[in-house]
Amino acid sequence: MLNWLLAALDLLLLLGLWGYGLLAYERLPDRIPTHFDLQGNALAWGPKSSLLQVLLIFSGLAAFIVALSALTLRDARLAWLNVPHKDRLLCLPPAARQEALSAVWGFLWALLLAVLLVAWLITWMIARYAHGTPLPGGLVIAGWVLILAYLVLLASLLGRSLQGVLERLEDKQGRGRAT
């Protein structure tokens, strides 16, 4: 259930990003900031089409993560996937393995959430700075820190979540053999 909620939130964020980006694009000057420091100060400038490149790059990253999550669920052999507890995953029967991989699928959707939040932050910074509105440096730094903290939390939770699912499935499998 949580995986589908994350997927729906990711889709809304991506569609909203494109909507916001295209609305902002119409109002942008011909030259916009293309690179920023961590405090939100513009370091380089380029044509306004650079905003579309940002949207396309992040959409490509989103497509890659969606494809990776689809491959994870479809191909439960795991030969190409590097995940925590892979050896334990390989010992499970294919149906149980696929159930355990739903934790990896959820991780990928949660990762996409962070990617899209970065895209929103960059798009907002471009639009705001291009119109001469100074960026509140503390807010930009706080945004980056929060996104980084989210990624660290997410990475630490993947192993624990997968381990919990594996223990439950292994217990279930062990009880099935005992009867």
H helices, E strands: number in the chain: 5, 2
Q: Which two tokens stand for residue 171?
A: 């217990």
Answer yes or no: pTM beyond 0.85.
no
Q: What's the CA angle centered on 13, arms 134 and 165, to 5 degrees? A: 125
Does 17 or 143 have the greater pLDDT score? Answer: 17
List CB contacts of 10: < 8 A, sequence separation 6 or more.
62, 109, 112, 113, 116
pLDDT at 157: 79
List CB contacts of 121: < 8 A, sequence separation 6 or more.
140, 143, 144, 147
Tens-digit pLDDT profile for residues 136-168: 767 778 888 888 898 888 877 777 777 788 888
Number of domains in the chain: 1
Q: Provide mean pLDDT across the span 64-70.
A: 84
User: Residue 141's domain spans which residues?
Assistant: 1-177
